[in-house]
Amino acid sequence: MRFWRCAAVLAVALVLFIGCGASVTPPPSTTTLARIQQRGELVVGTAASMPPLNMTTKTGEIIGFEVDMARAMADAMNVKLRLAPMQFAQLLPALNA
């Protein structure tokens, strides 16, 4: 019982510490949402080869759960959706760039 009490105290302290550190960083001058809306386009990178999340049909159309979610997000932001198919290993470097 004592172990769980110590673990709970440690978890709460960790959450508070992380929360305090997050408030120290200054907010970005332009939010990502504002940049997307200003550009009028949501660009979503996808491997297009991982069914059922994303896959390419015989006609070349990219479909799947992730595409449906991206389309719903673009509709909610009132912007166009552009899918950018690329190799899986290139997704994170492209996001960082």
Domain count, the chain: 1
**pLDDT for res 32:** 86
What is the pTM assigned to this prediction?
0.65
Contact present, 36 and 42 (Cβ < 8 Å): yes
25-48 residue pLDDT tens? 656 668 888 999 999 999 999 999
Domain assignment of residue 73, given as a range:
28-96
Is residue 22 in some structural domain?
no
Residue at 41 is within a domain: yes
76 assigned to some structural domain: yes
> DSSP assignment of 47-68, as one string?
-SEETTTEEE-TTS-EESHHHH
The CATH number of the domain where 53 resides is what? 3.40.190.10
Give a yes or no: residue 9 inside a domain.
Answer: no
pLDDT along the chain (97 residues), means of 10: 53 53 59 91 94 95 95 95 94 89
